[in-house]
Amino acid sequence: MNNHVAALMEDVTAKNPAEPEFHQAVKEVAESLVSVLDRHPEYRSARILERMIEPERVVMFRVPWVDDQGSVHVNRGFRIEMNSAIGPYKGGLRFHPSVNLGILKFLAFEQVFKNSLTTLPMGGGKGGSDFNPKGRSDQEVMRFCQSFMTELQRHIGPNTDVPAGDIGVGGREIGYLFGQYKRVVNEFTGVLTGKGIHWGGSLIRPEATGYGVVYFAKEMLATRGDSLKGKKCLVSGSGNVAQYAVEKLIELGAKAITLSDSSGYIHDPDGIDAEKLAFVMDLKNKRRGRIREYAEKFPASTFTETDLSKDHNPLWSHPADCAFPCATQNEINAKDAATMLANKVFVVSEGANMPTSAEGVERFVAAKILYGPGKAANAGGVAVSGLEMAQNSMRYSWHREEVDQRLQVIMADIHSACLEAAERFDAPGNYVDGANIAGFMKVADSMLDQGIV
């Protein structure tokens, strides 16, 4: 490890104990920036990276709520306002029992680079709670969201901080959160994105992350004169990102053969077609059931239980051409990565944030496959959130085709920005370095312009 990176990581680890995901995210970026900092001593003397690692503000609060039986629960709420050099803080809210300060800091840090890559004026933030919506009634989820927003509203605003959805926060939760914001603040503004279509939402926002991940893979394949047509694809997750990634894969003639949730994964050798995807959408978005029901409904497929704490995830052991991890962080470890490479997977486009462990990333990069890291490949979601903010400011809505067209242009621009930055800093074809460098430089230059704040 380079001396500067080693010293920086020693400091980060000491100052932020027990936050392994945050350390992992910072280390990856710091390693990519070695030659940038060598060529730009002004970034080093202004301690730009050190300032980017320290959140501008962290809000942590109590979220008390009452369940349907009248019992009182207490959860913890967070909002990490990481960096506002290029625009208001922007990033999702995650409701999942695994949520803690370190996980949200890693997500907020990644978001700064991702938002910068989108070409839109958005700073980085992230938030959420350790609340588990699974198995809760709509009324319970509503009461939780209302309690959460009663505190969060003090810290956000359309020109300050604009949250969106993430794991466990979809259209239903955004609706309850928006309703409570409006009630308390007495203002109808674009304070959240991912809103319903009749009250300020943008067409294509629900689809954007999943579609964008596939558009990014398409761009990567085009550099080798190839396309997604006929490609066999592994997809993990079965939530928002996974569903729309599969929808776009079907449209482009690829064959998705897996999906998963926290209980396990299904393998369908015949491919998940539009009818099977409609079943998954109903199962996950309406009935809120488990993915094993897919195998009960479609007998040619199989269900396998999984546990991400085990030494490998069998979903990644099926031979395929492409992989789209769309569930959660660190779902592909070094062993999984080695298996995928042995099975000739040569495209990995990440829908989830940091789904591949550091050792797994090293293997993909060393093998020179087309590896698109999450902060570039999944930026389509926040990009369309940025377009939702623009439409809200204009009090106007674009057509579906117009938003989709803009999304495709943004994903192509992100792809070229990554390749161009990687080339300029002697790492041709390395999308990890390219995304980190391109995302960093825009924020770094803006921070230099704005003085020591």
* Residues designated catalytic: 126
- Quick one: DSSP state of residue 202? P
What is the Cα–Cα distance from 363 to 368, expressed in whole angstroms? 9
Selected from 381, 386, 434, 439, the binder of ligand NDP by CB under 6 A is 381
Selected from 149, 249, 320, 327, the binder of ligand NDP by CB under 6 A is 327
Q: Which is nearer to ligand NDP, 77 or 168 (CB)?
A: 168
Q: Report the nearest approach of ligand NDP to the CB of residue 38 (Å).
A: 31
What is the Cα–Cα distance from 198 to 86, expressed in whole angstroms? 29
Helix H or strand E encompassing 117: helix 101-117
What would the two tokens of residue 227 be? 């396309």
Task: Indicate whether 83 belongs to the interface with ligand NDP (CB under 6 A).
Answer: no
Spatial neighbors of 295 by CB under 8 A, at least 6 apart, are: 266, 301, 302, 303
Task: Indicate whether 111 belongs to the interface with ligand NDP (CB under 6 A).
Answer: no
Q: Please give the residues from 144 up to 173 whose contact with ligand NDP meets the rule CB under 6 A.
A: 165-168, 170
Task: Indicate whether 348 belongs to the interface with ligand NDP (CB under 6 A).
Answer: no
Selected from 83, 240, 349, 446, the binder of ligand NDP by CB under 6 A is 240
How many CB atoms sit inside 10 A of residue 156's CB?
A: 24
CB burial of 331-359 (b: ≥16 within 10 Å; e: otherwise) equals: bbbbbbbbbbbebebbbbbbbbbbbbbbe
CB 233 within 8 A of CB 257: yes
Task: Indicate whether 237 belongs to the interface with ligand NDP (CB under 6 A).
Answer: yes
Closest CA to 213 of 194, 181, 236, 187: 236
Q: Which is nearer to ligand NDP, 241 or 320 (CB)?
A: 241
What is the Cα–Cα distance from 374 to 438, expressed in whole angstroms? 14
Fill in the amino acid letter for 19: E
Q: Which is nearer to ligand NDP, 201 or 381 (CB)?
A: 381
Task: Indicate whether 353 belongs to the interface with ligand NDP (CB under 6 A).
Answer: yes
Selected from 26, 162, 320, 326, the binder of ligand NDP by CB under 6 A is 326
Q: Report the nearest approach of ligand NDP to the CB of residue 391 (Å).
A: 17
Closest CA to 340 of 320, 357, 358, 326: 320
CB 258 within 8 A of CB 306: no
Among the listed ranges 50-58, 324-332, 356-364, 439-447, the one in contact with ligand NDP (CB under 6 A) is 324-332
Task: Indicate whether 315 belongs to the interface with ligand NDP (CB under 6 A).
Answer: no
What would the two tokens of residue 452 be? 């020591």
Q: Report the nearest approach of ligand NDP to the CB of residue 156 (Å).
A: 18
Task: Indicate whether 301 belongs to the interface with ligand NDP (CB under 6 A).
Answer: no
- Site map for ligand NDP, 192-221, x if CB under 6 A? -----------------x------------
CB 377 within 8 A of CB 355: no
| String of DSSP letters for 67-102 | -TTS-EEEEEEEEEEEE-SSSSEEEEEEE-TT--HH
| String of DSSP letters for 30-48 | HHHTHHHHHH-HHHHHTTH
How many CB atoms sit inside 10 A of residue 60's CB?
A: 13
Q: Report the nearest approach of ligand NDP to the CB of residue 149 (Å).
A: 19
Task: Indicate whether 378 belongs to the interface with ligand NDP (CB under 6 A).
Answer: yes
Closest CA to 210 of 407, 351, 110, 115: 351
Return the axis-axis angle of helices 20-32 and 431-450, rounded to nearest 10°: 90
Q: Which is nearer to ligand NDP, 352 or 427 (CB)?
A: 352
Selected from 261, 321, 388, 404, the binder of ligand NDP by CB under 6 A is 261
Selected from 2, 16, 262, 397, the binder of ligand NDP by CB under 6 A is 262
Task: Indicate whether 241 belongs to the interface with ligand NDP (CB under 6 A).
Answer: yes
Q: Which is nearer to ligand NDP, 27 or 114 (CB)?
A: 114
Among the listed ranges 27-35, 136-144, 232-240, 292-300, the one in contact with ligand NDP (CB under 6 A) is 232-240
Q: Which is nearer to ligand NDP, 124 or 239 (CB)?
A: 239
What would the two tokens of residue 273 be? 């077609």
Site of interaction with ligand NDP (CB under 6 A) = 98, 165-168, 170, 209, 237-241, 261-262, 308, 326-328, 351-353, 378, 381
